[in-house]
Structure 1
Amino acid sequence: METILVASQDRAARAFLGDNLTADGYAVVEAGSLAGALELLGRAPVGLLLVDRRLPDGDGLVLVDRVRSAGSLQPAVDCDLPIIALVEGGSALDRIRALDRGCDDCVARSAVAYAELRARVAALLRRARRKKVPARLRVGPLTVDVAGRQVWVSGRPVCLSNKEFSLLLVLAGDPCRVFGRAELMATVWGWSDGGSTATRTRTLDSHASRLRRKLSREGLAYVVNVWGVGYRLVEPAPPGEAMRSSRGPQRLRLAA
């Protein structure tokens, strides 16, 4: 779930945006001042900033300057954080100033419809997610070429179906994390009510079983079934290296 920070001195506007964005599946945090927004940005990861230029303790573009200046916030904030500025009249000069200062988009506070703002938010977040996807993922000897949709284990190519690859991509995106069945069925198959039927559960289990079998090397399993919860991806310990496995599976590494 993406977190959106709404920074505006207008309490009614914050409430309106917060209610609607929350209904659309986003987590929303609100700030009524420049100082409050800076504090929230330094406290937890934020996926997108909606900032009003009118703040009681300064121009909202000052906040944009701070975000774009790498290392100016502690802990550091992503300097490429998507930012949408809310301006008063939406004149060409207002938009140019906001874009020149580092905003990714600019909308007129009083003129834009929520449906349009929601679409702009979704588009910026979609582009931001694509930028963050690495070209290749590695978990031990397992290599996943994200763009080419190819997989190798110790240099040996592995042929996967589209759904098997999609399932692997989700699991490899956060190795060691246990993904629930309903979450996997919603993400890979688009079934938001995925955990409600035995047929859909069997579909997930059969794909996970085939994926485990195809990735297995010398009897070692990458895909682990966490009983009663779901699945996770691990780097299996070679035979005779029980001490290594006791330290826990290896975390994700980016390929060179």
Structure 2
Amino acid sequence: MGEGLVVVVEDEPAIAELERRYLARAGFGVHVETRGLAGLDAVRRLRPVLVVLDVGLPDLDGIELCRRLREDGDWTPVLFVTARDDEVDRVLGLEIGGDDYLTKPFSPREMVARVKAVLRRGREAVRAEALVAGPVRLDPATRQVGVDGVPVALTATEFNLLEVLLRGRGRVLGRSELLAQAWGQVDYGTSRTVDVHVAQLRAKLGDDCPIETVRGVGYRVAR
């Protein structure tokens, strides 16, 4: 699944393309938006692993975009990028829930390194608890899945998809969101790709498969 999906919100095309290219080289899927409101919608819709967020954006600045995410209870990591050499902006961004910042001009390699460092801190902070739904148990640390204690062999993609669904337990996940989270790409395959892999999971997990279809929307694992 690569390193996951990063949403870049940047209104300067040359900088956005530079960020996209270097992040893609590092194994990330990348979705780019050039306006604040469109960026906010993309983060809510695609559930990326991180947002690279310019402070000075048309229609909704980066500080307000981050504030709205945090008010919604969305703590997706945010790396602020700003052309403003102003300590107030940097401090305000961190105070409202930003995770790190870069001041333009910056090295794209440093940007990638900071993205990885923010994600590494977040992963280390998350306890690798087993995810359980009925008799199905998924262990993120060992990447093993069992049903009633009996091991079930899954492909890497099947495991990723099941983990995403279990972590979102109780919430309906649309196909585009599942593609973004489990495959790390916005445009990887089609909705049919998700349907095929869900069918494979159901076949392997049998009658105990916890995945429910929500017609016309996507899939969920009920609480």
Question: TM-score over 0.5 for the alignment?
Answer: yes
1:113 aligns with 2:115: no
What is the aligned partner in structure 2 of residue 10 from structure 1?
12
Partner Cα distance (1:177, 1:250) in 2: 17
Deviation at 1:54, TM superposition (A): 1.0
Partner Cα distance (2:83, 2:42) in 1: 24
Partner Cα distance (2:126, 2:35) in 1: 30
Deviation at 1:58, TM superposition (A): 2.8
Partner Cα distance (2:14, 2:115) in 1: 20
Give the letter for the 1:100 counterpart.
E
Deviation at 1:3, TM superposition (A): 0.7
Greater RCO (CA < 8 Å, at least 6 residues apart): 2
Q: Structure 1 regions of 5+ residues with no counterpart?
A: 71-77, 147-165, 184-230, 236-244
Deviation at 1:56, TM superposition (A): 1.5
Deviation at 1:34, TM superposition (A): 0.9
What is the aligned partner in structure 2 of residue 178 from structure 1?
154
Contact 1:18 1:28 in 2 (8 A): yes
What is the aligned partner in structure 2 of residue 39 from structure 1?
41
Q: Kindly tell me the number of residue pairs found equivalent between the two proteins.
A: 167
* Distance change in 2, residues 1:92/1:177 (3 Å): farther
Q: Structure 2 regions of 5+ residues with no counterpart?
A: 160-200, 212-220
Q: Residue 38 of structure 2: SS of its match in structure 1?
A: helix
Give the letter for the 1:113 counterpart.
S
Partner Cα distance (2:137, 2:47) in 1: 28
What is the aligned partner in structure 1 of residue 209 from structure 2?
249
1:83 aligns with 2:56: no
1:135 aligns with 2:129: yes
- Pairwise CA RMSD: 3.7
What is the aligned partner in structure 2 of residue 94 from structure 1?
89
Deviation at 1:101, TM superposition (A): 2.2
Normalized against structure 1, the TM-score is what? 0.54
Deviation at 1:172, TM superposition (A): 3.0
Higher radius of gyration, 1 or 2:
1
* Distance change in 2, residues 1:101/1:137 (3 Å): closer
Partner Cα distance (1:142, 1:114) in 2: 42
1:65 aligns with 2:60: no
Q: Residue 9 of structure 1: SS of its match in structure 2?
A: coil
